[in-house]
Structure 1
Amino acid sequence: MAIVQIHPNWDKPPAILTHGYSLEMTAKDKPSLQDAAPLIPAETPIAVTFLPGEDAAARVAATVAVRELGFEPMPHFSARRITSEDDFEGYLHAVVREAGVRRCFVVAGDPPEPQGPYFDTMALIATGAFERAGIKAIGIGGHPEGHPEMTVEQCWDVLTRKVAEIEARGMAPLVVTQFGFDPDAFLEWLAELRRRGIDAPVRLGVPGPAGIKRLLSFAARCGVGASASVLRKYGISVANLLGSAGPDKLVDAFAAGIGPQHGRVRLHFYPFGGLRKTVEWIADYERRQGQA
């Protein structure tokens, strides 16, 4: 299948959970990626986000840099931020032509109303543009802690329909979750995903090491649960918000809790503290696990 062509180790359980991780970057992170590149394994999937204030040329350049550095680019497409069919297909064909892109990630985007003809991710997928461009895999979002604009059951219905639509078009679905601090919520969601018959590979979102205030700022912006009890699980005390925090406890909990019943699972890191700091943390974690 297409997902195996891109990631031959998806069906082989990792010796250490961080093996086979993926990363996220913005177009502005291109110099940081070049700096961190020697520490990142070859063919690591790296998503390039679709943010306001970054033009298509900058995103294409970042995607090309990912490929030239020996990694697997996965550009984002934000449906409601795309202004026209030409805007959509022009960007898609540019990243395929210039960076050899084989997989894309599709989100609805933050604007409440679309800036062009596409209201949501299904509208983009339904165009048929991805498979016509030779895309082999489509990433879609998962929300273990729920979505601010949908009920839990609506989230499951939308996710199920997206997976079915992607597969019907001959591509492989990949679910990448929002980041979070609560391993229990993620493991319960993952078990429910499999109970509902969705066997697509999943990447669980993990925040990279960063200042605590910065982590909480991103959590508030993204609607991530950050109650005092959840933060304690992660290793953060609300009485002391100075300093920084890493995902050690979260990743340890995933490693202890994930079993064969959870299907194909890897990690996706959101490097809020910087790409180099995140990949250094991963390398250090793997060294410690190898010595355990």
Structure 2
Amino acid sequence: MGTAGLKALLHRVRYEVLPAKSTEDKVLAHVPRDVVVTVTASPVKGLEPTLDLTARLAAHGYRVVPHVPARLLRDDRHLKEVAGRLREAGVDDVFVPAGDADPPAGGFEGALPVLRRLSELGSPFARVGVTGYPESHPLIHDDVTIQAMWDKRAYATYIVSNLCFDPRVLGEWLARIRRRDVALPVHVGVAGPVQRTKLLAMATRIGVGESTRFLAKHPAWFARFAAPGGYAPERLLTRTQEALTAPSAGVAGLHVFTFNQIAETERWRRALLDRLGG
């Protein structure tokens, strides 16, 4: 499959953005309408900025996937309210991680109870995503994370993998979850072309989004970004090309962590597509 498969994945991207003041303008200026936009949620700011930006981008004609972390939901009534607002905005796809809020806002400790409750509410969303962890989670054993994906398979329709910078680890993880009969399609998490100074500035702020907090928990990953020449997304994709494009891997597309460097991310994708097209 090779280059053709990689081109196909670059055409099936999702851009993860943070709900900041400038995000809407950046998306409108730089993101084509055929690119899915996912909106993170912050345990500091709560769900409101996510729901607001999701509704505005959907009104502009984007397919938007809000993050609805379980630990930000206050109770069953709040879940129903959030689902109703999103359906009213035309949203048919949500991403449900456990989230980082500590303590949780209410009684939902993890994603599975929220997924079950959404099913009991008549499955208001056609597509529901859950998290996968190619590299070890700082608090959860690898076998537990794969078991969690198995438990969620009846309620979810796809997996979004967290960042991974090791081609071998990513390939082995994809093989492992398939051996465990986790058959959900995977959107592989890839960091965009992050500028070092911007990433460092963003990482020092509080509550800017799940993606930067995840980096903060993985200092070795942060070092890869911070080192001059330490990370290039095209290098990672080239090295993982075989694993990502194998039919048995079930990779549906790329989930690109933009860290709100939205213009730079789209320029990078277009340039790489041009190069792959020869």
Establish whether residue 40 from structure 1 lines up as the match of residue 27 from structure 2. Answer: no
Q: Which amino acid aligns with 2:92?
A: R
Name 1:266's counterpart in structure 2. Answer: 253
Classify 1:13/1:245 alpha carbon distance in 2 versus 1 (closer, same or farther; 3 Å).
closer
| SS of equivalent residue, structure 1 residue 204 | strand
TM-score (norm 2): 0.83
Farther off after superposition, 18-27 or 41-50: 41-50
Name 2:141's counterpart in structure 1. Answer: 151
Residue 71 (structure 2) aligned to one of 52, 73, 80:
80
TM-score (norm 1): 0.79
Deviations 1:25-52 (CA, angstroms, capped at 9, x unpaired): 12216x3343343543333221111113
Name 1:21's counterpart in structure 2. Answer: 13
**Mapping 1:42-121, distance limit 5 Å:** 42-97=33-88, 99-121=89-111
Task: Tell me the distance in 2 between the aligned counterparts of 1:133 and 1:145.
Answer: 31
Give the superposition deviation at 1:220.
4.1
Establish whether residue 193 from structure 1 lines up as the match of residue 177 from structure 2. Answer: yes
Task: Tell me the distance in 1 between the aligned counterparts of 2:242 and 2:256.
Answer: 18
Name 2:237's counterpart in structure 1. Answer: 251
Give the superposition deviation at 1:174.
0.8
Give the superposition deviation at 1:198.
1.6
Percentage identity across aligned positions?
A: 24
Task: Tell me the distance in 1 between the aligned counterparts of 2:169 and 2:47.
Answer: 36
Name 1:7's counterpart in structure 2. Answer: none
Name 1:280's counterpart in structure 2. Answer: 267
Q: Is the 8 A contact 2:160 2:187 kept in 1?
A: yes
Q: Is the 8 A contact 2:18 2:259 kept in 1?
A: no
| SS of equivalent residue, structure 1 residue 111 | coil
Q: Is the 8 A contact 1:209 1:247 kept in 2?
A: yes
Task: Tell me the distance in 2 between the aligned counterparts of 1:136 and 1:224.
Answer: 36
**Mapping 1:152-191, distance limit 5 Å:** 152-164=142-154, 166=155, 172-191=156-175
Q: Which amino acid aligns with 1:108?
A: A
Q: Is the 8 A contact 1:209 1:244 kept in 2?
A: no
Q: Which amino acid aligns with 2:68?
A: F
Q: Is the 8 A contact 1:16 1:289 kept in 2?
A: no
Deviations 1:197-244 (CA, angstroms, capped at 9, x unpaired): 12211011111111346658546414375398xx5xxxx7x8xx3478
Task: Tell me the distance in 2 between the aligned counterparts of 1:224 and 1:21.
Answer: 26
| SS of equivalent residue, structure 2 residue 124 | coil
Task: Tell me the distance in 2 between the aligned counterparts of 1:73 and 1:261.
Answer: 28
Q: CA RMSD in A?
A: 2.7
Give the superposition deviation at 1:163.
0.9
| SS of equivalent residue, structure 1 residue 42 | coil
Task: Tell me the distance in 2 between the aligned counterparts of 1:265 and 1:110.
Answer: 26
Task: Tell me the distance in 2 between the aligned counterparts of 1:227 and 1:54.
Answer: 24
Name 1:169's counterpart in structure 2. Answer: none
| SS of equivalent residue, structure 1 residue 250 | helix
Classify 1:227/1:274 alpha carbon distance in 2 versus 1 (closer, same or farther; 3 Å).
closer
Higher relative contact order (CA 8 A, sep 6+): 2
Q: Is the 8 A contact 1:204 1:267 kept in 2?
A: yes
Q: Which amino acid aligns with 1:282?
A: R
